[in-house]
Amino acid sequence: MTDTTFRDGQQSRVPYTKKQMVDLYKMMSRLSGPNGIIRQTEFFVYDRKDKEALLECMDLGLKFPEITTWIRANKKDFQMVKDLGIKETGILMSCSDYHIFKKRRLTRKQAMDEYLSTVDDAFAAGIVPRCHLEDITRADFYGFVVPFVNALMDKSRQAGIPVKIRACDTMGYGIPYTGVALPRSVPGIIYGLQHYSDVKSEQLEWHGHNDFYKAVSNASCAWLYGASAVNCSLLGIGERTGNIPLEAMVFEYASLRGSLDGMEPTVITEIARYYQREIGYKIPAMTPFVGRNFNVTRAGIHADGLMKDEEIYNIFDTSRLLGRAPEVAISNTSGVAGIVYWINNYYELSPKDAVNKEDEAAVKLKEWVDEQYNEGRQTAVSDAELDEQLQKIAPGRFKPFF
């Protein structure tokens, strides 16, 4: 995996502060593990805050994720990146006619000549160029993409410097199924770049968006067809509907490989808490792996099964892998024991601070729940309602998880 949290991930929200970027980078490194499964992350370098964050992250001396950049295609920027000690940078190279003709007002030849000249500048500065083929799922694959990438590979061989190719599904049009025509076909794009342009797997990366809910399935497809990397962002935050969620691909990787290969997934929960508490980002409650309710069951029959054997209704050992035990919703049959379980679990109370069935807060909350059902309520009581009542019963005593 590679990461774009500090580049594409900043294009749809309030920019991160320097401290937030450094904190997230350190957590990402711990999540990546000693084998560097999260291989790289990319930074902007034009804003002073971004550059200071990049330098502070470099000073940490962490091996993974390797720090790369994203720059404009000119000699001055290449020199700036080299002066910073960066070995690789991303360069925008739009490849669909929408961008070449309508946005840039160029012919295909003019665009290709400009991009190839830019790669020469990168080589001259001693920088590995990562060519971002923007809007590839709307490009003329055999008429423009293949000839252009062939020319890039020729230059790479002559210079003895590996050029990386990032296939960018900028609008989320990619489709993972076999039999789909290019340029929409993710298998066709990855296969074509390898077999018609001689791009080695280790030089090939996929960058997707989630406009049609296919970000994760397209990324997995790209892996399976030979791309060595998929480009992600934390919580999937990115332009419009967002990027490929990094945390999703951690578990997709484990599912495909049968191993986490040294990654530490409990850091995902730390990252989610940090976004909620320190950054103020509200994660939708149903979001897989990081949402408040991702492993909460509200159906009574499900709750009964969960309490008998966690494997019946929990997706995996969420306590061990994410540091979050499964939860059940409170209803008229929960009893004071259920209330106690909810309080201790929801607020993640240590054994020293945990409440018991005699605790006044638990007893009063149980009385409020009973009152709700005595008045004819039929639905389970939400976490937000329980938290609101408990804050009234014991002001300031309990701090919510999120």
Residue at 89: amino acid letter: T
* Residue at token pair 């490929």: 244
Handedness of CA 385, 388, 394, 399 (dihedral sign): positive
Mean pLDDT of the 75-93 span: 92
Alpha-carbon distance 249 to 52, whole Å? 29
DSSP state of 243: B
Domains and CATH numbers, the chain: 2-279 (3.20.20.70), 296-393 (no CATH)
User: Are the beta carbons of 215 and 245 closer than 8 angstroms?
Assistant: yes
pLDDT in tens, 247-285: 999 999 999 999 999 999 999 999 999 999 999 999 999
Task: State residue 300's pLDDT score.
Answer: 53
Alpha-carbon distance 176 to 215, whole Å? 10
| Strands annotated E in 170-209 | 204-208
- Between helix 215-225 and helix 246-257 the angle, nearest 10°, is 40
Q: What is the dihedral of CA 118, 121, 125, 128, to 10 degrees?
A: 40
Mean pLDDT of the 362-369 span: 95
Per-residue pLDDT at 302 exceeds 80: no
Mean pLDDT of the 180-206 span: 98
Greater confidence (379 vs 32) lies with: 32
Residue at 94: amino acid letter: S
Task: State residue 98's pLDDT score.
Answer: 97
Other C-beta atoms closer than 10 Å to the C-beta of 278 total 13
How big is the CA angle at 271 (ends 228 and 132), to the nearest 5 degrees? Answer: 35
Stated pTM of the model: 0.89
Six-digit token string for 281: 């980002």
pLDDT in tens, 29-76: 999 999 999 999 999 998 899 999 999 999 999 999 999 999 877 788
